[in-house]
Structure 1
Amino acid sequence: MQIEEQHDAALKKVAEMVGDTKFAMLTIMERDGTLRSRPMSTMQLDADGNLWFFTSQSSLKFVEGQRQWQVNLCYVRTDKQDCLSISGSAQFVHDNEKMKDLWTPEIKSWFPNGLDDPDLTLLKVSIVEAEYWDGPR
């Protein structure tokens, strides 16, 4: 029971920080071993601890053929001077219903063709480990 309570408390802290920030820097290792980061808009942190993002399949061409790959997400709340680092396993999810549920008008700025864009997909990041650093109080 104690482990479950710790897990719930940790997930609550992650949810608080993600909810306050919304944007993350997603870091992925390229095929040549170099690291590449890109900003991502967090659409949802679900009850199972998965983070959901809209993305373009072509922007992540180097992971083509891989079912899952390791990523890092960094969230920073500058007003509170704290930081959250999430290590996780990422995968593309092609789910039209989930995309409809998560779609917001702001996403159209990046995907002008909306949900009809054939390059549009969801990126699901399953949290493996999360660390955070509190700012000075």
Structure 2
Amino acid sequence: MYQQYCQSCGMPLDEHNHGTNADGTPNEDYCIYCYKDGRFMQDMTMEQMIDHCAQFTDEINRQTGQHLTVEQAKEMMRRSFPLLRRWKHWGETDLMKKAERLLAECPTVTIASINAEGFPRPVPMAKGDTEGCNTVWLATGADSVKVADFRRNPKAGLCYDKGGSSVCLRGIVEIIDDDDTRRQKWQDWYINHFPGGPDDPNYTLIRFVGTEATIWIDHEFAHLTI
């Protein structure tokens, strides 16, 4: 028989412990300790729920025959809770926020174009402005190989990492060389590469926007569509 689990705390569900909907009928997804009369009983984050459930590690061990420590139980829940309905969207949102913070801490990224022979051409670059975890502005030369690659094929990959955490993105590049945007996105350190300043004819912007991400942060792994 298929075993159902509470989609908030992971408790096995049986005929006696289902939560209730607003009309008093049994709820098929949540236990009575998490959901009653059509609303959640606790206003908490996933990590707070894990801390709450970890208090019952001895009971979990008795029911399952395991010998988990509290920390082992928490680690097990950190792997399984993001798959539960209540936390699935929350987990993705939280992970993307962590990815955004990681990008802010990374001075460089690696961006990969596709060359004329169809091979990826990864290049490390200092980043310019960023938006969220998946949009990165880069300054480069109008005569560079990467610009030629992107004009021919705008598909790209971009990665950044620090301290064992990493984000790998797949997306599209736009080459932007209009004067207003070049002036708006100019950063003082660009002068080392473009002595003519914001009006230097060789100063060009690359805007990368990722639409798919592979994220590994704080022992959490996810493939996400952004």
TM-score w.r.t. the length of structure 1 is 0.78
User: When the two structures are aligned, how many residues end up with a matched partner?
Assistant: 131
Which of structures 1 and 2 has the larger relative contact order (alpha carbons within 8 angstroms, sep 6+)?
1
Looking at secondary structure, tell me which structure has more strand per residue. 1
8 Å contact from structure 2 (residues 170, 211) kept in 1: yes
Matches of 1:111 and 1:11, distance apart in 2: 34
> What is the alpha-carbon root mean square deviation over aligned residues?
2.6
Q: What secondary structure does 1:32 align onto?
A: coil
Deviation string, structure 1 residues 58-84 (Cα, Å, up to 9, x no partner): 1122343x4x6111111121xx21111
2:131 corresponds in structure 1 to: 46
Structure 2 unpaired stretches of 5+ = 1-86, 220-226
1:66-105 aligned within 5 A: 66=152, 69-77=154-162, 80-105=163-188
Q: What secondary structure does 1:43 align onto?
A: coil
Deviation string, structure 1 residues 28-85 (Cα, Å, up to 9, x no partner): 1101112212122221223695321111121122343x4x6111111121xx211111
Matches of 2:134 and 2:164, distance apart in 1: 24
Q: How far 1:87 moved relative to its partner?
A: 0.9
Matches of 2:206 and 2:216, distance apart in 1: 26
Q: How far 1:6 moved relative to its partner?
A: 6.5
Structure 1 unpaired stretches of 5+ = none
1:49-64 aligned within 5 A: 49-59=134-144, 60-64=147-151
Percent of pairs identical after alignment?
Answer: 20
Matches of 2:109 and 2:200, distance apart in 1: 23
8 Å contact from structure 1 (residues 70, 88) kept in 2: yes
Matches of 1:95 and 1:10, distance apart in 2: 35
Instruction: Give the structure with higher Rg (CA).
Output: 2
